[in-house]
Homo-oligomer: A and B are copies of this chain.
Amino acid sequence: MQKIRIGIAGYGNLGRGVQASLAQNPDMELAGVFSRRALDAQQVGAPCMALDAAKDYRDQIDVMILCGGSAHDLPQQTPELAQWFNTVDSFDNHSKIPEHFAAVDQVAKAANTVALVAIGWDPGLFSLNRLLGEAVLPEGKTYTFWGKGLSQGHSDAIRRVAGVAAGVQYTLPDTAAMDAVRRGEAPALTMYNSHRRECFVEAEEGADRAKIEHEIKTMPGYFANYDTTVHFIDRAELDKNHAGMGHGGFVIRSGTTGEGTHQVTEFALKLGSNPEFTSSVLVAYARAAFVMRQMGQTGAKTLFDVAPGWLSPKPAATLRKELL
């Protein structure tokens, strides 16, 4: 059988994760890596091309997986590349999804391509579980908890505090809040009272640690109103214990049926590597994009439009026999 030919656009953590994931999926092959930088094909282990010249390869790629960032790359790259390719991207700026979807949809419909947007785990598998929870238990509340995971934005904020040499911040779900939800208490939670923030900070020599701690804990928009802990550690410990890219979280639907019968659905992720997991989701949905295009579909799509069977390389009859 012909393999699905995948292109990677952008070769950072996510692009390398897609490459690793493709090696786990024998029905797909990496046809080329497209980058704005000049890459060494031998080092990459795949043909490397200039991103600007991508359209010249449109007959050699079935699905292009976009591995750029949501702030600057994808709003420009997805509409550009959807002219020539079926695409999958991990656009994760929740509030701008409708706008991104509309821009991509117009291009993809005109070009007869399928463009899956906002694929990953949040937005992504978490969104899918928010939808399932609400559809199956219409009377109830949905809770999303994130972590334990490193937050890039909050880590950056710490590093801007005077006297801080380096630092990272973890977002953690409040376990007492999660347990209350699981017991069906349906508490009124905000981000503030359902998550904790834990900071690991290397102070500059001679810096006033009490002042740093106070400045972090009271920082508006980032730490004020949160239960925040600040640990001072040295560079060696920071490099050794806080360089990982683990993440995760929980989507819990707490609902009632009949005469107030309590029902709970819960989806949880414990990820050793956030970018590698996101990449794996992108690759599974690239298979779906290929299937959807073969079915004659066109335009922008999200996970909500993807039947689960299209994600698997196995024939429908095998799925029914083995997994149903």
Contact = CB atoms under 8 A, between A and B. Distances in A.
A136 B119 CA distance: 12
Interface stretch (A16-24, A78-86, A209-217): A16-24
Contacts of A129: 267
Contacts of A220: none
B98 A321 contact: yes
Contacts of A281: 136
Contact of A308 (B131, B263, B321): B131
Contacts of A320: 97-98, 101, 118, 302, 304
A276 B266 CA distance: 17
A319 interface: yes
B261 A269 contact: no
A16 B35 CA distance: 59
A324 B269 contact: no
Contacts of A130: 323
Interface residues of A, number: 65
A265 B128 CA distance: 14
Contacts of A324: 94, 97, 118, 123, 127, 302-304
A316 interface: yes
A177 interface: no
How many copies of this chain sit in the oligomeric assembly? 2
A38 interface: no
A279 B304 contact: no
A308 B312 contact: no
A98 B135 contact: no
Interface string A111-143: 000000010000101011111101111110000
A194 interface: no
B279 A257 contact: yes
A70 interface: no
A243 interface: no
B257 A265 contact: no
B269 A264 contact: yes
Nearest to A118: B324
Given A24-B139, A25-B138, A135-B312, A272 B265 contact: no
Interface string A252-287: 000001110111111111111100110111001001
Contacts of A269: 263-266
A119 to B, nearest CB: 10
Give the 5 A-B residue pairs with the shortest CB-CB distance, closest first.
Answer: A304-B309, A135-B311, A261-B272, A257-B276, A264-B270
11 contacts: A21-B257, A24-B257, A98-B320, A118-B324, A131-B308, A131-B312, A257-B279, A258-B276, A261-B276, A304-B323, A306-B307
Interface of A: 17, 20-21, 24-25, 94, 97-98, 101, 118, 123, 125, 127-132, 134-139, 182, 257-259, 261-273, 276-277, 279-281, 284, 287, 302-309, 311-312, 316-317, 319-321, 323-324
